[in-house]
Amino acid sequence: MIVYRQHARVLVQGMTGKQGSFWTEKMLACGTNVVAGVNPKRAGERHLGLPVYATAREAMAGTPFDWAVMFIPPAAARDAALDAIEAGARTVVILTEHIPARDVIAIHHAAAGHGTRIIGPNTAGIVTPGDGFVGIMPGHNGNIFQPGEVGVISRSGSLGTLICLNLTRAGIGQSAFLGIGGDPMIGTTTRDALEALDRDEATRAVVMVGEIGGAMEEEAAAYAAGMSKPVVSFIAGRASPPGKKMGHAGAIVSGAFGSYAGKRRALEAAGVAVADTPGEIPHLLRSALGAPRDAAQAVPLHA
């Protein structure tokens, strides 16, 4: 499960901490179905009106959940993720960055064995305007997110926020925002997210925000070539020099591998319109959907 729906029950690991408390309040305020939290030092208490458990396994027994989201420091992330996976979480959203590589490998291995979807590590989370959000994206802010028919995929939370802000200002709502994360070993790839939005009945078109480095955009392009829904893309890092890491751990170019030019060629060959700047995306979307470039309300992209 990649697209969050309000019927899905959410467990917050680390809910009683400063960040966990802040974002849990925001999630609850916009309708996210948060049902419980985890903090072994405060087990048996209630926080923000919700029960707190010592472990995810105890939470599953007392207050069943479908999704888990982790406000957990790097050193403890492996144990927290394994706890949620072994408890039976269908989806685990790992916000934490700088998790040791061996721990990330262990998390993915366990998830594969239990049939758990991992989103992240180093993700900002998932937003479904009108249903809620899971993570640290400003899904509660109506100036940035509005219900609609355009799905957005991004490694970067900040760049994804900018894209959604531009869409909302242009009168284009979003069916979902999928933040896949910036770790080199993420559990959900750009192609995975693209396939999910292709299947999603609420999504009419897709914006794919990529970055230099790796081959995720090229792999997604191969899938996009067979899609009936239009896909528009923006690739960050066009001016970055080869061999220099830019932002995320995976955003590094070695020779021609993972280059901006290579990604753009692959996407355009697949029929994906590629924007030179984020500000061009609303215009490209309207063009792909058969609407005039300057007609803000010509196509009913709000739900």
Beta strands at 273-275 and 231-236: parallel, antiparallel or unpaired:
parallel
**If DSSP codes are grouped into helix, strand and coil, which group holds residue 58?**
helix
Query: How far is Cα 25 from Cα 48, in angstroms, rounded to an integer?
Result: 7
Catalytic status, residue 302: no
Position 231: which residue type? Answer: V
Q: Are 250 and 267 in contact (CB under 8 A)?
A: no
Query: How far is Cα 260 from Cα 253, in angstroms, rounded to an integer?
Result: 9
Helix (H) or strand (E) holding 27: helix 18-29
- For helices 281-288 and 157-169, angle between their N-to-C axes, nearest 10 degrees: 60
Sign of CA dihedral 204, 29, 165, 298: positive
Query: How far is Cα 299 from Cα 111, in angstroms, rounded to an integer?
Result: 41
Q: Which of 140, 248, 283, 302 is catalytic?
A: 248
Q: φ and ψ at 178, to 5 degrees?
A: -115, 105
Taking the CA atoms of residue 257, residue 260, residue 266 and residue 268 in that order, the dihedral angle to the nearest 10 degrees is -170
- Catalytic residue numbers, as ranges: 248
